[in-house]
């Protein structure tokens, strides 16, 4: 069974204080690992897809990295508008549910001015 | 980019009544649509996968007679919660496969009183 564990559950940062969010996963062959941002009462907003170990992607203050067991979302010099819940999800490479995503519980990030 | 429009965003209904939630793909054809449920501080849990023109596939533990899914066209999928009860109160989100990724609706907050 595919599993995704995100840590920490919640993270409070001062504006400008860089940090990282962790996503550990167990999947029977990884087709893709996805990062989403979710604001309260909204649907997830796509950030990144990573496909293979060693891959990195960047967007503004965010950088996602991938190993064979985990992914990190690095946030550099965060701003209050980066406050949100960040979700990690994996897609298995094969099987009946190979188009389905398995989500972690998310990390709620609060950036204090 | 690909957009999925979900309505309504909020609905309050009386116990025992039915509620329909619609998801429309605005600028692409959604062959496959996913329906999720999200409880507070919990992960998105996949309820069912629907393919246009065929019966939906429900996840274990999801009552198919209670959560009716119709995917009659390539641009519209609906979820009907029948005989709703307070325990059905949750945040419901649809998602569609687009290219190699997934786009999500904005979610529906259902409150059953």
Q: Using the structure block, give the residue that is written with the tokens 């641009």.
A: B75
**What proportion of chain A, given as a percentage, has pLDDT over 70?**
96
Closest residue in B to A43 (Cα) is: B106
Q: Does the pLDDT of residue B60 top 80, yes or no?
A: yes
Q: Using the structure block, give the residue that is written with the tokens 């996968």.
A: B49
Distance of alpha carbon B80 from alpha carbon B22, whole angstroms: 9
User: How confident is the model over A80-96, as a mean pLDDT?
Assistant: 89
Q: Does the pLDDT of residue A94 top 80, yes or no?
A: no
Residue A33, phi then psi, degrees to nearest 5: -120, 130
User: How confident is the model over A48-61, as a mean pLDDT?
Assistant: 96
Q: What is the pLDDT of residue B101?
A: 87
Q: Are A36 and B101 within 8 A, CB to CB? A: no
Q: Does the pLDDT of residue B81 top 60, yes or no?
A: yes
Q: What is the pLDDT of residue B99?
A: 81
Instruction: Write out chain A residues lying below 8 Å of B44, CB-based.
Output: 44, 87, 89, 101, 103
């Amino acid at each position: 069974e595919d599993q995704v564990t995100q840590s920490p559950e919640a993270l409070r940062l001062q504006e400008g204080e860089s940090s990282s969010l962790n996503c550990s996963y167990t999947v029977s062959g990884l087709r893709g690992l996805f990062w989403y941002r979710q604001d309260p009462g909204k649907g997830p907003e796509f950030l990144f897809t990573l496909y293979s170990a060693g891959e990195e992607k960047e967007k503004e203050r965010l950088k996602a990295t991938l190993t064979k067991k985990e992914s990190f979302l690095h946030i550099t010099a965060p701003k209050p508008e980066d406050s949100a819940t960040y979700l990690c999800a994996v897609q298995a490479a094969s099987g009946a549910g190979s188009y389905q995503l398995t989500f972690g519980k998310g990390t709620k990030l609060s950036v204090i001015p | 980019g690909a957009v999925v429009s979900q309505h309504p965003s909020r609905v309050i209904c009386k116990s025992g009544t039915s509620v329909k939630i619609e998801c429309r793909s605005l600028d692409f054809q959604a062959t496959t649509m996913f329906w999720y449920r999200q409880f507070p501080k919990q992960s998105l849990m996949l309820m069912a996968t629907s393919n246009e023109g065929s019966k939906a596939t429900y996840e274990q533990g999801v009552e198919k007679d209670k959560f009716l899914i119709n995917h009659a066209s390539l641009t519209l999928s609906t979820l009907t919660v029948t005989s709703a009860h307070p325990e059905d109160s949750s945040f419901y989100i649809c998602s569609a496969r687009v290219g190699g990724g997934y786009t999500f609706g904005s979610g529906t907050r259902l409150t059953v009183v």
